């Protein structure tokens, strides 16, 4: 879908993008990176809003950057900035964007209503955009990005300013568009749980360099396949039993066990062995599943490879406010240690 390489962009003495090469497959792709890592510059370069000093490739099969206006016809962009056309009411604003993308007048208006229904914008569509709340403006920008039915959506912080219900609804829409309507989506965000919940693959930028780029399922694999086992009461007897059976075992902060080596055993045998060892040590197992690396861990590992980011801990401060849904190991506890 997107395959570009050798992208360089400098602002004066600052390298915003250095030899960036990305290959984005259909599906939802998370674009992550600390502040100033070059995410917005990369998006703007893709859309031809800024000119890169070098770089070439294809976007949706069209040569980039030579055919950037053709590409823009096929892309829906939700900017991070609070932007709107002053004086227009919501429905006019979406219909205007439809017309700018080449939809005829009547069709543009009909389509605008349809998309605003999809985005759950009700009677507010007849109010001036300047009076919209932040959340409403996000929904409006989403509707504007979607109104011309583009095969590729680039969403820059789409859930910023949304309350939990609206955020959940927005992510649900993104999933629907990708899964049911075959849209490819690039999701640039700081909210890692959003990426974890909807993205198939991840690109992590730091210091203008692509640090990580792969499928999320691959990235979240631990170096040694590991089971995460939660027990009721003291986990030590079960841990000792597993070690005696040749497994590598460590304990997490919440008292759960991380058992490496168990995954390599056949699925049926694995379960029966675990239940057998638990019975022998008189331990009750509450829950067990395959342990995965959290996105937060992947992100921190990637971002810290940039010395500038590593020296400025404040750049990662936003991570403290984001809640991880993963139950993977914490960064300071390695499996089998």
Partner 1 sequence: MPVHDLGYRGWTGARMSHLMRPLVVARGGISLVWRRRWLRMMIIFSWLPILLFGVGIFMFEYSATEPGWGQVLGNLLAFQLQRPDLALSISADHAGSRHDVWATLILTFFRVPQLFAMVLLVGLIAPMLISYDLRSKAYLMYFSRPLSPTQYIIGKSAVLWFFLSTITAIPALILYLVGVFLSPDLSVIGETWDIPFRILGATVVLVVPTTALALCYSSFTSESRYATFSWFATWAMGFIAYSVLTYSGARMRGGPPQRPRGPRGRGRPRFEDFDAAQYENMASNMPPGLADIDRDKWRLLSPYETLGKVEGWVFGIDPTPGSVWPSIIMLIAITVGGLWIVRHRIMARLSV
Point out which residues bind partner 1 (CB under 8 A).
11, 44, 47, 49-50, 69-70, 72-73, 75, 77, 79, 81-88, 96-97, 99-104, 107, 111, 114-115, 117-118, 120, 122, 130, 144, 146, 148-149, 173, 176-177, 180-181
**DSSP codes, 90-112:** HHHHHHHHHHHTT--HHHHHHHH
8 A C-beta contact, residue 94 and residue 103: no
Give me the least distance between CB of 248 and partner 1, in Å please: 48
Give me the least distance between CB of 336 and partner 1, in Å please: 47
Nearest one of 191, 208, 231, 198 to 303, comparing CA atoms: 208
Q: State CA 67 to chain mean position distance.
A: 27
Give me the least distance between CB of 211 and partner 1, in Å please: 25
Nearest one of 63, 97, 62 to 79, comparing CA atoms: 97
**CA-CA distance, 317 to 250, in Å (whole number)?**
28
Nearest one of 3, 35, 12, 7 to 190, comparing CA atoms: 35
When the beta carbons of 117 and 280 are compared against partner 1, the nearer one is 117
8 A C-beta contact, residue 68 and residue 44: no
When the beta carbons of 70 and 230 are compared against partner 1, the nearer one is 70
When the beta carbons of 148 and 211 are compared against partner 1, the nearer one is 148
8 A C-beta contact, residue 137 and residue 166: no
CB-based contacts of 168, cutoff 8 Å, min separation 6? none
Half-sphere exposure of residue 136: CA atoms within 13 angstroms, side-chain side: 18
When the beta carbons of 176 and 271 are compared against partner 1, the nearer one is 176
CA torsion through residues 232, 233, 234, 237, sign: negative
Q: State CA 128 to chain mean position distance.
A: 32
When the beta carbons of 17 and 238 are compared against partner 1, the nearer one is 17
Give me the least distance between CB of 27 and partner 1, in Å please: 17
Give me the least distance between CB of 136 and partner 1, in Å please: 15
When the beta carbons of 64 and 277 are compared against partner 1, the nearer one is 64
Burial 224-235 (b: 16+ CB within 10 A, else e): eebbbbbbeeeb
When the beta carbons of 84 and 281 are compared against partner 1, the nearer one is 84
Q: State CA 3 to chain mean position distance.
A: 19
Q: Tokens 């219909």 belong to which residue? A: 95
Give me the least distance between CB of 172 and partner 1, in Å please: 11
Give me the least distance between CB of 153 and partner 1, in Å please: 11
Give me the least distance between CB of 47 and partner 1, in Å please: 6
When the beta carbons of 175 and 224 are compared against partner 1, the nearer one is 175
**CA-CA distance, 51 to 73, in Å (whole number)?**
18
When the beta carbons of 55 and 193 are compared against partner 1, the nearer one is 55
Give me the least distance between CB of 278 and partner 1, in Å please: 47
């Amino acid at each position: 879908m997107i395959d570009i390489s050798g992208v360089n962009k400098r602002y004066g003495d600052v390298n915003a993008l250095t030899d960036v090469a990305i290959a984005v497959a259909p599906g939802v792709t998370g674009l992550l990176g600390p502040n100033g890592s070059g995410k917005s510059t990369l998006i703007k370069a893709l859309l031809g809003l800024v000119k890169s000093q070098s770089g070439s490739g294809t976007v949706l099969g069209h040569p980039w950057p030579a055919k950037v206006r053709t590409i823009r016809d096929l892309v829906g962009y939700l900017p991070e900035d609070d932007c709107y056309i002053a004086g227009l009411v919501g429905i006019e604003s979406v219909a205007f964007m439809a017309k700018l993308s080449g939809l005829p007048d009547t069709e543009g208006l009909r389509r605008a209503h349809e998309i605003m229904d999809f985005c759950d914008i009700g009677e507010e569509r007849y109010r001036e955009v300047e009076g919209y709340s932040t959340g409403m403006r996000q929904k409006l920008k989403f509707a504007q990005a979607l109104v011309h039915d583009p095969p590729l959506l680039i969403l820059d912080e789409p859930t910023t300013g949304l309350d939990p219900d609206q955020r959940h609804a927005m992510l649900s829409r993104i999933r629907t568009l990708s899964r049911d309507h075959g849209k490819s989506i690039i999701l640039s965000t700081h909210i890692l749980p959003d990426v974890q919940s909807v993205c198939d693959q991840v690109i992590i930028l730091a210091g203008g360099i692509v640090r990580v780029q792969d499928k999320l399922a691959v990235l979240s694999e631990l170096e040694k396949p590991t089971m995460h086992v939660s027990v009721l009461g003291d986990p030590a007897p079960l841990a000792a039993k597993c070690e005696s059976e040749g497994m590598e075992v460590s304990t997490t902060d919440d008292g759960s066990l991380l058992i490496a080596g168990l995954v390599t055993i056949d699925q049926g045998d694995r379960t029966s062995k675990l239940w057998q060892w638990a019975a022998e040590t008189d331990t009750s197992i509450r829950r067990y599943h395959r342990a995965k690396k959290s996105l937060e861990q992947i992100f921190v590992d990637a971002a810290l490879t940039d010395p500038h980011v590593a020296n400025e801990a404040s750049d990662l401060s936003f991570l403290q406010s984001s809640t991880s849904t993963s139950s993977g190991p914490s960064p300071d506890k390695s499996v089998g240690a």
